[in-house]
């Protein structure tokens, strides 16, 4: 019987739309779930919507809607976002559901019966935005620590004896029954507990919205108290098959709701009724926008679906691949100790660097050379030892990162293998092996394809559609079993390869609106006989910098009869060069080829595309280009003189 692995994620409020900041928590849970399914484990993955609380009622009132209709509408939008972001949850808990109302009231009832709840008078400040109570000494310049307005409240309420669980919580952390990731945040939690825990007000006056306190309809359960209970609601508490799903193996959340709620109040609530706390609480840092935390209330929210739609159009990729690009950005930049910062320019830059230049380039180069040099079939020769070691090292780093819930390190391990592959291709130079009929060529190509196959598995939890596209081009089924990664059976010799198709084409920065439309290509004029060039001095010739480059990507320019768009590496420097060689050369003719580049030519625009150099070529009898190249392989980037 496969091992059960339970994943809980903090549920967002339905007082507005999801943004990329709170989507990160859900996506972290999804990436974790997809990986553990690949391990063959029986995953239970929960998401949900938090629909009670004062600010929900007030948001509905501002919208002029009944609270029930309001939360139904917003929750429906959340479900749409989860679906579009490919969240593979097993359960979605709405806190207005009857099953959650029953679980919340039963937990309240049992805690009360066990002597952990009492009545008293609450007087203090209440932050409606975060649904949090604060004492006078907690305020900063008359506002909550989050900078929100507060209101004074004085009423009879129910209190939870959190102070009575201080020693039990410290013991649970000391014994490893609860672990916070990262370790620095666990230290913050322990410091908070050691300062002395205060009892928590866990009810509000009933204003017509919320879960009534059992036996006292004049009060509703405090939203933060009932929201936490959703985790055991998902696991069928107090009835059903609860024991097979709980305790949670990991609970994902943002750092702002860790210390007060998920690391102290929630485990104490569970201890009060004899239930185990979650094994690991993983608290990621914030996503910043404009220098501050992304926030619906502050108007700094970046919604995922509009961002995906805009990027899909800009990059010329499907919506599914644009979603994968967003998923990968959020996971690969996810901070733990430090916050990450979202900007549109940085999002574009990371897409080009990680997905277009590294991931897409490695796939395109490997498949193109396999078709060119070994007939488009996976060779039967063994993978070279250095490639075997690189795959094993990347797999080990990936597993260690995922075991520690450091998803950004797992993403780095996957892209690190791809970067290793691109360097391996440059060093082993399959084009040179083919030219010299070197018997090592099939093994090198097999090694390249093996690395791509391993990377397909590693990016799958983060980019499932992109991984499917890679598997299809490799001519194999998607890697759904982790133990297959790096094995010969994952990519058998003799497999017919698909044709290379760019999964993540390089993103071109659009020119200004006035020049957004490419100008029509001028009609070629008949070449006039060349006049004798003027005699120049040696110093004039030395002004021209000629260097050896290597074509690493090539594709026709859409709408042009003669232009090819090339990515040429000159030493360590990538260049985009637009060359009029389409009639003479195909992309497969060019990839891996060495060329001579005029490297210090001023950049120019051709059909709206920037060309950062020029290739040297001769004319054949029909006026078509014949590219010049070294007679023998030369070091990439070397000078020509």
165/134 Cα distance (integer angstroms):
20
Give the residue among 17, 8, 9 at the shortest CA–CA distance from 75.
17
Residues 497 and 473: beta-carbon distance below 8 Å = yes
Q: Which element (helix H / strand E) includes 80?
A: helix 67-84
Cα separations (Å) of 606 from 359, 485, 576, 582, 598?
27, 43, 12, 14, 17
Which of 318, 315, 385 lies closest to 356 in space, CA to CA? 315
pLDDT at 518: 45
549 pairs with which residues across the strands?
595
Quick: pLDDT tens for 68-94. 999 999 999 999 999 999 999 999 999
pLDDT score recorded for residue 256: 93
Peptide bond into 511 cis (omega under 30): no
The pLDDT assigned to 517 comes to 46
Q: What is the pLDDT of residues 586-627, one digit of tens each?
A: 776 788 788 999 999 999 988 888 999 999 998 887 778 889
In this structure, what is the dihedral angle of CA atoms 126, 129, 131, 134, given to the nearest 10 degrees? -30
Which residue pairs from 77-83 have beta carbons closer than 8 angstroms and sit at least 24 positions apart in sequence? 77/17, 77/18, 78/12, 78/14, 78/18, 78/49, 80/305, 81/17, 81/18, 81/23, 81/304, 81/305, 82/26, 82/47
Check residue 422 and report its DSSP letter.
H
β-pairing, 292-293 vs 340-341, is: unpaired
End-to-end CA distance of the chain: 69
Domains and CATH numbers, the chain: 4-293 (3.40.50.620), 343-490 (1.10.730.10), 538-640 (2.40.50.140)
CA-nearest of 134, 164, 162, 165 to 150 is: 134
Tokens representing residue 392 in the block: 């094993």
**φ, ψ dihedrals at 484, nearest 5°:** -75, -20
pLDDT at 572: 77
How far, in Å, are 95, 132, 206, 211, 527 from residue 203 at the CA level?
16, 12, 9, 10, 87
Can you spell out the DSSP letters for 216-283? EEEEEE-HHHHHHTHHHHHTT-SSSSGGGT-S-SEEEEEGGGIIIIIIIIHHHHHHHTTPPPPSEEEE
Confidence at residue 262, expressed as pLDDT on a 0 to 100 scale? 98
pLDDT in the model for residue 519: 46
Partners of 615 in beta bridges: 597
Task: Tell me which H or E stretch contains 574.
Answer: strand 573-579
Contact (Cβ atoms closer than 8 angstroms) between residue 591 and residue 601: no
Up-side HSE of residue 158: CA atoms within 13 Å toward CB? 25
Q: Which residues of the chain fall below pLDDT 50?
A: 511-519, 521
Which among 270, 122, 106, 112 is positioned nearest to 201, based on CA atoms? 122
């Amino acid at each position: 019987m496969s091992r059960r692995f339970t994943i809980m994620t903090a549920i967002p409020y339905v007082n507005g739309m999801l943004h990329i900041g709170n989507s990160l928590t859900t996506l972290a849970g999804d990436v974790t779930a997809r990986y553990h399914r690949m391990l063959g484990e029986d995953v239970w993955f929960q998401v949900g919507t938090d629909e009670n609380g004062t600010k929900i009622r007030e948001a509905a009132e501002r919208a002029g809607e009944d609270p029930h209709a309001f939360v139904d509408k917003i929750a429906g939008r959340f479900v749409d976002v989860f679906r579009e972001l490919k969240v593979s949850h097993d359960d979605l808990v709405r806190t207005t559901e009857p099953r959650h109302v029953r679980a919340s009231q039963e937990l309240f009832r049992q805690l009360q019966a066990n002597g952990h709840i009492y009545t008293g008078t609450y007087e203090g400040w209440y932050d409606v935005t975060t649904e949090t109570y604060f004492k006078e000494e907690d305020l900063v310049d008359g506002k909550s620590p989050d900078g929100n307005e507060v209101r004074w409240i004085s009423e009879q309420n129910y209190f939870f004896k959190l102070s009575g669980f201080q020693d039990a919580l410290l013991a649970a952390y000391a014994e490893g029954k609860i672990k916070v990731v990262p370790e620095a945040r666990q230290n913050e939690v322990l410091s908070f507990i050691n300062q002395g825990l205060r009892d928590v007000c866990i009810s509000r006056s009933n204003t017509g919205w919320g879960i009534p306190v059992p036996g006292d309809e004049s009060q509703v359960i405090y939203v933060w108290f009932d929201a936490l209970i959703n985790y055991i609601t998902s696991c069928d508490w107090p009835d059903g098959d609860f024991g097979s799903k709980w305790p949670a193996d990991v609970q994902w959340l943002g750092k702002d709701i860790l210390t007060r709620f998920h690391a102290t109040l929630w485990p104490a609530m569970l201890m009060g009724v004899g239930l185990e706390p979650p094994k690991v609480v993983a608290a990621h840092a914030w996503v910043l926008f404009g220098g501050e935390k992304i926030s619906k209330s502050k108007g700094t929210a970046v919604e995922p679906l509009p961002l995906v739609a805009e990027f899909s159009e800009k990059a010329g990729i499907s919506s599914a691949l644009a979603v994968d690009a967003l998923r990968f950005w959020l996971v690969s930049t996810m901070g733990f100790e430090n916050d990450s910062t979202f900007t549109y320019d940085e999002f574009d830059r990371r897409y080009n660097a990680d997905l277009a230049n590294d991931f897409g380039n490695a796939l395109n180069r490997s498949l193109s050379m396999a078709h060119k040099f070994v007939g488009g079939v996976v060779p039967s020769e063994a993978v070279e030892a250095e490639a075997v070691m690189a795959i094993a090292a990347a797999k080990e780093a990936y597993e260690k990162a995922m075991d520690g819930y450091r998803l950004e390190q797992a993403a780095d391990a996957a892209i690190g293998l791809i970067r290793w592959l691109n360097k391996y291709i440059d060093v082993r130079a399959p084009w040179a092996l083919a030219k010299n009929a070197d018997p090592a060529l099939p093994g090198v190509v097999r090694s390249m394809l093996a690395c791509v196959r391993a990377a397909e598995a590693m990016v799958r939890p983060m980019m499932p559609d992109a991984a499917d596209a890679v598997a299809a081009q490799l001519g194999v089924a998607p890697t759904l079993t982790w133990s297959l990664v790096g094995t010969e059976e994952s990519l058998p010799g003799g497999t017919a390869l698909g044709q290379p198709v760019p999964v993540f084409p390089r993103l071109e920065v659009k020119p200004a609106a006035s020049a957004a439309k490419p100008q029509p290509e001028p009609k070629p004029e008949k070449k006039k006989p060349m006049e004798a060039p003027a005699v120049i001095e040696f110093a004039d010739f030395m002004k021209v910098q000629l260097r050896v480059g290597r074509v690493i990507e090539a594709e026709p320019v859409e709408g042009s009869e003669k232009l090819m768009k090339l990515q040429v590496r000159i030493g360590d420097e990538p260049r985009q060069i637009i060359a009029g060689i389409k009639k003479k050369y195909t992309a497969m003719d060019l990839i891996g080829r060495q060329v001579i580049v005029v490297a210090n030519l001023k950049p120019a625009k051709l059909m709206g595309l920037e060309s950062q150099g020029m290739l040297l070529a001769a004319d054949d009898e029909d006026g078509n280009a014949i590219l010049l190249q070294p007679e023998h392989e030369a070091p990439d980037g070397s000078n020509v003189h």
